[in-house]
Amino acid sequence: MQPQLHQATPGVVRFYNFLPPGDTFLADVLAGLALPQKAIPPKYFYDERGCRLFEAICELPEYYPTRTEMAIMRSHIAEMAQFAGPGAQLIEFGSGAGIKTRILIEAMQPPLYVPIEIARDTMEAASLQLAARFPWLNISGLCADYSHPFELPEFAGVPIQKKVVFFPGSTIGNFTREEALEFLRRVRRLAGTDGALLVGVDLKKDKKTLDAAYDDARGVTGAFNLNLLTRINRELGADFQVKRFRHKAFYDPVMGRIEMHIESLYSQFVHVAGKRFNFAPGETIHTEISCKYSVAEFQELGRKAGFSPVHVWTDPAQMFSVHGMIAI
């Protein structure tokens, strides 16, 4: 790889908080528990313990997505960097601990990296690690909830040829297919005319493999799911008795998605901020979906959003896919 000019100048690291003032956690939990099918959005999994548990999930033998995507990226990183092009600004949604980002930045050498992540401490810690590793890299870290529209800040002084959006981990699976289309349309607008998209998408496969990936033998995914109740107790002063609930996750082949729930083991009631919520035995709080796509299905979604699918990289067993798409 050619050394680049910007390597000589030290990069600037900035952090922005784009979360709306006033916490939405309480309002979302109260509204979610009042629904006929109780539901709480998955973005609330990621408190400090939730982030740690998610990282532990990524190491599980049953949870193939992280390591498979990493292997795909390692095998094809030169081609991916060439697809992204030199001089492109790299924008990453749901950047998390940022391990895949490292090899992409190394290969791509972007003048500016913009991680967007709801978990502020995780985003800042990962950014500082990247800054230490790539001293020339400019970083503008955004703490934001990208399930809602927002605008990127201006980045003065960084010459940008084009924007490349990186959305790894099949996090796009947390959206319904309709929401994913809406999200991709927003990404298309944000990326602009010459924009490109690199997105990791988990593939449809047999139910047994998928069920195990979301209900592992060691119970780490269960701890991750139930940690939501612990967080609600701590942050919202609720009185969930976590032991009276259990983790439930399964693949629905008709919907092509994992559903994750927290199931009440008994008839019981719980208070959140002075409001009482009843649970029947077997009643659930729906906490997450994780949609699975075929390659063709995701390419069609990309087309509908204004992208032209030009690359798809997969592993030999066709477990996971990374799509390269350009704006049209």
Q: Residue 264 pairs with which residues in a beta bridge?
A: 245
- Closest separation in Å from C-beta 117 to ligand AVJ: 12
- The CA distances from residue 28 to 25, 136, 260, in Å, are 5, 41, 18
Q: Burial of 147 by CB count in 10 Å (0-12 exposed, 13-18 middle, 19+ buried)? A: middle
Opening angle at CA 147, ends 42 and 285, nearest 5:
25
69 binds ligand AVJ (CB under 6 A): no
Decide if residue 214 touches ligand AVJ (CB under 6 A): yes
For residue 166, what are the contacts with CB-CB under 8 A and spacing of at least 6?
90, 91, 92, 93, 101, 104, 198, 199
Interaction of residue 122 with ligand AVJ, rule CB under 6 A:
no
Instruction: Specify the residue, 57 or 164, whose C-beta has the smaller distance to ligand AVJ.
Output: 57
- In the sheet that 307-314 helps form, which strands lie side by side, from edge to edge? 13-17, 138-143, 112-117, 88-93, 162-167, 196-202, 320-327, 307-314
Q: Which position's Cβ is nearest ligand AVJ? A: 290
How many residues interact with ligand AVJ (rule CB under 6 A)?
Answer: 11
290: contact with ligand AVJ by CB under 6 A: yes
To the nearest whole angstrom, how small is the minimum distance from the Cβ of residue 200 to ligand AVJ? 9
Query: For residue 133, what are the contacts with CB-CB under 8 A and spacing of at least 6?
Result: 102
- Of the pair 125, 160, the CB lying nearest ligand AVJ is at 125
3-state secondary structure at position 123: helix
Contacting ligand AVJ (CB under 6 A), which of 68, 109, 140, 221? 221
Choice between 101 and 221, CB closer to ligand AVJ: 221
- What's the min distance (Å) between Cβ of 48 and ligand AVJ? 16
Both tokens assigned to 241: 């008795």
Restricted to residues 149-178, the positions that interact with ligand AVJ (CB under 6 A) are 169-171, 173-174
Tokens of 138: 């400019």
The tokens describing 299, both together, are 């390419």
At its nearest, how many Å lie between ligand AVJ and the CB of residue 260?
Answer: 6
Is residue 57 at the binding interface for ligand AVJ, with CB under 6 A as the rule?
Answer: yes
Q: Which is nearer to ligand AVJ, 93 or 134 (CB)?
A: 93
> By the criterion CB under 6 A, which residues form the site for ligand AVJ?
57, 65, 169-171, 173-174, 214, 221, 288, 290
